[in-house]
Amino acid sequence: MTRLIVAAGGGGDAVAAAMLHAALYGDDDQAMILTYAWDRLLIDPVPGPRGPADFTGLEQLTPAVRAVSAEARPIAPARSTLPRLAAELPHTFALIDPHHGAEGITRQLEELVGHLAPESIDLLDVGGDILARGDEPTLKSPLADAVTLAACCQVNAPVRLLVAGPGLDGDIPSDALRGMLGPLVHTFTAQDVEPVSSVLEWHPSEAAGMLAATARGVRGTCEMRDAERPVPLTDEGPTVHEVDLDEAVSRNQLARAVMATETLAEVEAHSREICGSSEIDYERDKAASLKEQPPVRLDPETVLLQLDRFEAKARSRGVTHATFRRIIEALNLDGSLREDLHQLLLRSRPERYAAPLWSIPASGTTACEEPTP
């Protein structure tokens, strides 16, 4: 028995797919997880998603589908978390290649369905931006989800669309999504998080991190990248809902527009027209600016003082938690220092680690002080 889970936006959706498989289908069988290699600039300095030509050591599953094994390596300067995911999790990770547009991904799906004859096909999105119209002012990263949705609705096989952690990606508030969500399929628990607990210690996905944290019982308000709008961590956070696939396509203007695309450039052009921008353009601009910035080293004393100031300001905004990606951004650190920062903060205040988030205390105890007994 093989389950095919399509991680709509890649990255954290792939981690959530492993959680979903364990929760719904058990640990006895492995899943085929079809996902993007798109780790954003925090990990990968090259803008946009990676394709097969960006790796060595891929395994050919079908004419159009390659698996990313633990032995695969991205070709420098590109980087990818997928080989490490493949090393730590028991599932097979196959690479979504958007460089041939929605038609190319449809072809990949059709080949996988023929190759695997899967027991089920789930299209999973953490957060719910796959349900966006495309013109929402808070929408940051609609492209990957829209192209995957466009491909899935054209496959000659039943596909179940699932949205986990409504609103946790920070793109569309959970209140706006609630009316579009269908039946409750599952509510993640701390036990469901265990299969990916080691991954969460290093994986940079904010949405998957908040999904896991809420499943472990963390509640409050979390600040993520760009600090535009804090994300509520509520009882709704760990839920998984089914959504009608046709209704999602009917709502998602970008998905409908890209159905016949054969190149990523076409997809980007539609994104600029419908959404007002392409997120890959944003990455190109940001990558160019990052090249001009001098490297910043991790000085523990300086970092902890900066953390105190960040926490004080965040506390005044009513924030109770922050992602490590947000802390890196606020402290103006290079993304390559994420694991070093993680270890430093765990040594300095381990009690504040609300795995995999950082807890901001209501009082003013600083990271440089010992709490009063």
Token duo for residue 158: 């039943």
pLDDT of 183 > 80? The answer is yes
Residue 122 has, within 13 A of its CA and on its CB side, a CA count of: 28
Rounded distance between C-alpha atoms, residue 313 and residue 310, angstroms: 5
pLDDT, the chain, mean = 93
Classify residue 171 as exposed, middle or buried by CB count within 10 Å of its CB (0-12, 13-18, 19+). buried
pLDDT per position as a tens digit, 161-173: 999 999 999 999 9
pLDDT of 373 > 70? The answer is no
Task: Please report the pLDDT score of residue 294 as a whole number.
Answer: 74
Rounded distance between C-alpha atoms, residue 211 and residue 209, angstroms: 5
pLDDT of 372 > 80? The answer is no
pLDDT of 292 > 80? The answer is no
pLDDT per position as a tens digit, 127-141: 999 999 998 988 988
Task: Please report the pLDDT score of residue 365 as a whole number.
Answer: 53
As a whole number, mean pLDDT of residues 69-92 equals 97
pLDDT of 371 > 50? The answer is no
**Nearest to residue 161, comparing CAs of 278, 39, 13?**
13
| Beta carbons of 105 and 151 less than 8 angstroms apart | yes
Q: Which residues contact 171 (CB under 8 A, 6 or more apart)?
A: 127, 128, 129, 132, 136, 138, 139, 140, 141, 142
Rounded distance between C-alpha atoms, residue 124 and residue 149, angstroms: 10
Strands 31-35 and 3-7: parallel
Rounded distance between C-alpha atoms, residue 344 and residue 27, angstroms: 34
